[in-house]
Amino acid sequence: MQNDIDHVLISSERIQTRVREMAEQIVAYYDRQNPELTLVPVLSGSIIFLADLIRHLPIKMKLALVHVSTYPGRTTTPGESKTLLEPTGDIRGRHVLLIDDILDSGRTIRRVQAMLHALAPASVRTAVLLRKPSKAPTDVPVEFVGFDVEDLFVVGYGLDYDDFYRNYPHIGVLRREVTA
């Protein structure tokens, strides 16, 4: 697996530090209302981020998973989101925090936000680990961002290529030959 990585873009140490900071921002943001949350991770890319983040969030919460699959085995052309399954838990009347790995074209998050709003939540906020600012649209509200990254295809820390590399602990860029 290591041999397929061209270089590390963000080390696991930097990720851990930033995830803790994001958790502090989220706690501070919700502090006054002190609500119960429903966290909605978008599967599968956000699972590692979710697992690390929630252990730094001393907030009473439920999880409701949503599943979206995009870009099957591809690194560049954004395909239409393939499937979008209803959240596995309660959304109605709840303060929802949507969690995703990366905001690229914004198509995925736009669709999930629309689906959540249709289920009558009390509020919807969004946290992403990565954002590609060169492409991210302005009409998709994202309140919490871990890192802004260049428009490169990255893997690791939950992010995949053809469902591989999710267990790579850093965020890295694949060697060209791997995707050629």
Catalytic residues, by residue number, are 104
- Closer Cβ to ligand 5GP, 92 or 117, answer by number: 117
Strand intervals (E) in 75-175: 83-85, 95-103, 123-131, 144-148, 154-155, 171-174
Can residue 146 be called a binding residue for ligand 5GP (CB under 6 A)?
A: no
Least Cβ distance, residue 83 to Mg ion (angstroms): 12
In angstroms, rounded to a whole number, what is the distance separating the alpha carbons of residues 147 and 143?
Answer: 13
Strands 83-85 and 66-69: antiparallel
Can residue 12 be called a binding residue for ligand 5GP (CB under 6 A)?
A: no
Task: Identify residues 64-93 at the interface with ligand 5GP (CB under 6 A).
Answer: 70-71, 78
Residue 95 C-beta-side C-alpha neighbours within 13 Å: 12
- Closer Cβ to Mg ion, 83 or 138, answer by number: 83
Task: Identify residues 23-52 at the interface with ligand 5GP (CB under 6 A).
Answer: 45
Can residue 105 be called a binding residue for ligand 5GP (CB under 6 A)?
A: yes
The DSSP annotation for 155-167 comes to EBTTB-BTTB-TT
What are the tokens at 7?
A: 């270089």
Stretch of 5-13, 50-58, 101-109, 114-122 contacting ligand 5GP, by CB under 6 A: 101-109
Applying CB under 5 A, the residues found at the interface with Mg ion are: 45
